[in-house]
Amino acid sequence: MNPEVAVPQRPRLALIRREWLLLVSIATSVVFLLFGEVFFGLLANPIWLAVIFVWLFSVVLGSALSVVRHADHLAEQLGEPYGTLILTLAITSIEVMAITAVMRHGESNPTLVRDTLFAVVMIILNGMVGLSLLMGGWRRHEQHHNLQGANAYLGVIVPLATLSMIMPNFTHPTNGPPYSPVQQTVLAFISVGLYGVFLTLQTGRHRGFFIDDAGEAAGGHGRTTEGPLWPPVILLVAYMALVVFLVEQLAAPIDYFIETLRAPAALGGVVMAVLVATPEAISAVRASVANHLQRSVNIFLGSVLSTIGLTVPAMLVISHLTGHPVVLGLERTDAVMLILTLALSIITFASGRTHLMQGAVHLVLFVAYFLLIFEV
């Protein structure tokens, strides 16, 4: 074999092995583009319903993980503040696209945005935080993080979560929970404004609040790396385009399961939240196990903040453009769970030190949230 011919093929083979999921996603998209109506006509069969859901959910989740991976590569190359912006916009875009697809597909589901936001907060602040602190505390007696950074996150998360998911129930007590159009506009400006101020603080004068004692940069992207930008940009756009199409297909089995089989409506929000939270959950748990708790704090608190600060305004705008109503106020049980979770989070991160017991308590609240979904 001529070595001059074999050498140029090695990078291509390595790229194919590394991005095999792109080929799977493309093949899945082509199959559902050509035969989607046939597959969706089989949803009445429980086995086919399960197969189609697991197939689409797995491919969408894998594509979402790849989006985050390539956004992370761009973040390392560009540094701050662009790294934080790319990661945040990538995750938020996936969430907005997923919610919009389910909203448009079946019958009107005005509580989907609320259920998804609440599910993201519960999964991250209880499930992800609990697992990270439990696994980190299991290996070490205590772990340390920057107290000022956690306070900065929670100082924005608490008011935005309250204004978005609790306050709507008290603005129109006789006419139902929705905000009026004027109140929705004000909420959107408040959310974007506070997130913008926080981002300025995180990447500017108070960047040290989000760095641990070893000098780790906030979000893990303080350093820059050399290399061309176009490969991760092209792959990021390709995976995002596939997520947009495939999540539209995923909406069909989700809607069938909720509307036809009368499953709890909140399960739709849980599915959307898992798609959003899983990529960052993996990174947060790995960082905690490696004793980089500050990075875990930046990941899970930053994810909650971006979800509330950016997804809420985006979905309110889409609601006005599409005419689909959005209900933000939580039910009584969920409102109590949200308040309890926020209070526990403040206590957990109040000292700058965490241990195993705190992780166990957060996981108990996560189990309670999941059980309450099936409350009759």
Whether 330 shows a pLDDT value over 80: the answer reads yes
pLDDT digits (tens, 9 = 90+) for 239-250: 888 887 888 788
What was the pLDDT predicted at 79?
Answer: 59
For residue 325, give the nearest of 167, 162, 114 by alpha carbon.
114
Whether 215 shows a pLDDT value over 60: the answer reads no
The DSSP element (H or E) to which 144 belongs, if any, is strand 143-144
- What is the Cα–Cα distance from 71 to 220, expressed in whole angstroms? 13
Residue 7, sorted as left (phi over 0), alpha (psi -120 to 50) or beta, turns out to be alpha
Contacts of 108 (CB under 8 A, 6+ apart): 324, 325
Cα atoms in the Cβ-side hemisphere of radius 13 Å centred on 345: 30
Dihedral pair phi/psi, residue 143, rounded to 5°: -125, 150
pLDDT digits (tens, 9 = 90+) for 39-92: 888 888 888 888 998 999 999 888 888 887 887 777 667 654 565 567 667 777
Quick one: tokens of 115?
A: 């259920």
Which range among 32-36, 107-111, 123-127, 221-225 shows the weakest confidence by mean pLDDT? 221-225
> Which domains does the chain show, CATH number per domain?
3-373 (1.20.1420.30)
Question: What is the DSSP secondary-structure string of 230-279?
Answer: HHHHHHHHHHHHHHHHHHHHHHHHHHIIIIIS---THHHHHHHHHHHHHH
Alpha-carbon torsion (156, 340, 123, 373), positive or negative = negative
Task: Look up the pTM and report it.
Answer: 0.81
Q: ∠ CA 186-187-193 to the nearest 5 degrees?
A: 90
